[in-house]
Amino acid sequence: MKNILKALLLIVMFAGATESRSQFINPGDKIPAGAIVYSLPVTSLHFIVEVTYESFTAGPYARFSQKYLGVQAREESGDAYQISNVEVIPYIEADQSANIALNLGNSKTASANFMEMINQGLIMWSDSYAGKSEKLRFPDMKSNTLFVKSMSTSNLTSEKSTLYRTASSPTGSERSAVQQSQVVEKSAEKRAEESANMIFKLRTKRLEIITGETDATFSGDALRAAIDEINRLEDEYLGLFFGKIRSGSQKMSFDVMPKADNEKQIYIAFRLSDTQGLLPSNNLAGRPIVLELLKESEQPGVTMDVTSGRGRVVYRKPAMMNLRLMDGQNVLMQSRVPVYQLGNLLSFPLEIATGKL
């Protein structure tokens, strides 16, 4: 009699329980009543890139350096960029193209297993997204005031010209010379000559101070301060011929979403221009920085029935990929990253107790 009552009780319990069921949701499909919607995870690769740059501005007297200083100076301004640091961060987010409706019923085991798979990252809530802030920095690399303080010689000079006038005299008309002086702007070459002369004067004065061949006496801190000031002035005047270099850094971030239908798994992560620095992948002004994903060969293929249905939850097992970032033939970085969308689809029975209850 007891056995019959136990059997009847079990029949009533199972009859009152709702079995777990799942189904893929296509665009336009109606979500079943009482079901929750989850998504399969995808991996996006977030690159944080920092470059250093050197901005060279040619001196205004560069073309006269050979004539007055005996050294040929660079006459064209330009910028040079070099990647100094690259960091890659894999982010996991919900795949909006793979949504699944799941009815957990009233089974505690199914609910516990579902939450454990969420915690493990094997499945995700359909609205999950690993949000992140992007900070861009574009330094000011051009300046028209680099040489203003250095061009401290006088900008004006006096020129004399001789004019002739005709004057009447008892013997007839005579032509006499008249000197006329006027203030005009100095030519660039004249200012370059004066700057070169100042450089040589500074060098002569520095040698006199060091050797003691001067009326003034310098010692200790006074000697050091005098030499430092002469060196500073010399550098300022030399900059008028040989230009100036400014350096700095630029930092940007880029995202790459690997696609399962890309057979070669090669992507353009971003671009680098010698004049503009870091650029997005769709800007053809820079050379491409290529991302290559290579699947590890020892990963065995798994075949499993992953059709949605009774008591099973479909999930993704990520594929371990070897990541390489290339600038031409130069390898910028290598790493191992798990990429979910390149892995296998598997299923798990929700009613199995896993010890996580």
Q: What is the pLDDT of residues 335-357, one digit of tens each?
A: 899 999 998 888 877 776 655 44
* pLDDT (0 to 100) of residue 211: 84
CA 43 – CA 39 distance, rounded (Å):
13
Is residue 174 a part of any domain in this protein?
no
Is residue 184 a part of any domain in this protein?
no
| Residue 128 token pair | 């999950």
Residue 52: domain span: 16-142+247-349
Q: Report, as ranges of residue numbers, the positions in the chain whose pLDDT lies below 50.
A: 1-18, 130-142, 144, 356-357
Is residue 182 a part of any domain in this protein?
no
pLDDT, tens digit, for every residue of 146-169? Answer: 565 555 556 556 556 665 666 666
Taking CA 279 as the corner, what is the angle to CA 276 and CA 285, rounded to the nearest 5 degrees?
Answer: 65
Kind plus residue range of the DSSP H or E element containing 116: helix 108-120
Q: In one letter, which amino acid is 128?
A: S
Is residue 277 a part of any domain in this protein?
yes
Helix axes 220-242, 188-211, angle to 10 degrees: 160
Q: Is the pTM of this model over 0.75?
A: no
Closest CA to 101 of 39, 20, 23, 19: 23
Domains: count for the chain: 1
DSSP secondary structure code for residue 32 in this structure = P
Is residue 273 a part of any domain in this protein?
yes
Is residue 230 a part of any domain in this protein?
no
Is residue 239 a part of any domain in this protein?
no
* pLDDT (0 to 100) of residue 209: 86
* pLDDT (0 to 100) of residue 128: 56
* pLDDT (0 to 100) of residue 132: 44
Is residue 282 a part of any domain in this protein?
yes
* pLDDT (0 to 100) of residue 149: 55
Q: In one letter, which amino acid is 213?
A: E
Beta strand pairing call for 156-169 and 124-125: unpaired
* pLDDT (0 to 100) of residue 199: 92
End-to-end CA distance of the chain: 34
The rounded Cα 158 to chain-centroid distance in angstroms is 54
Burial environment of residue 325 by CB neighbours within 10 A (0 to 12, 13 to 18, 19 or more): buried
Closest CA to 202 of 172, 233, 224: 233
Evaluate whether 122 touches 160 at the Cβ level (below 8 Å).
Answer: no
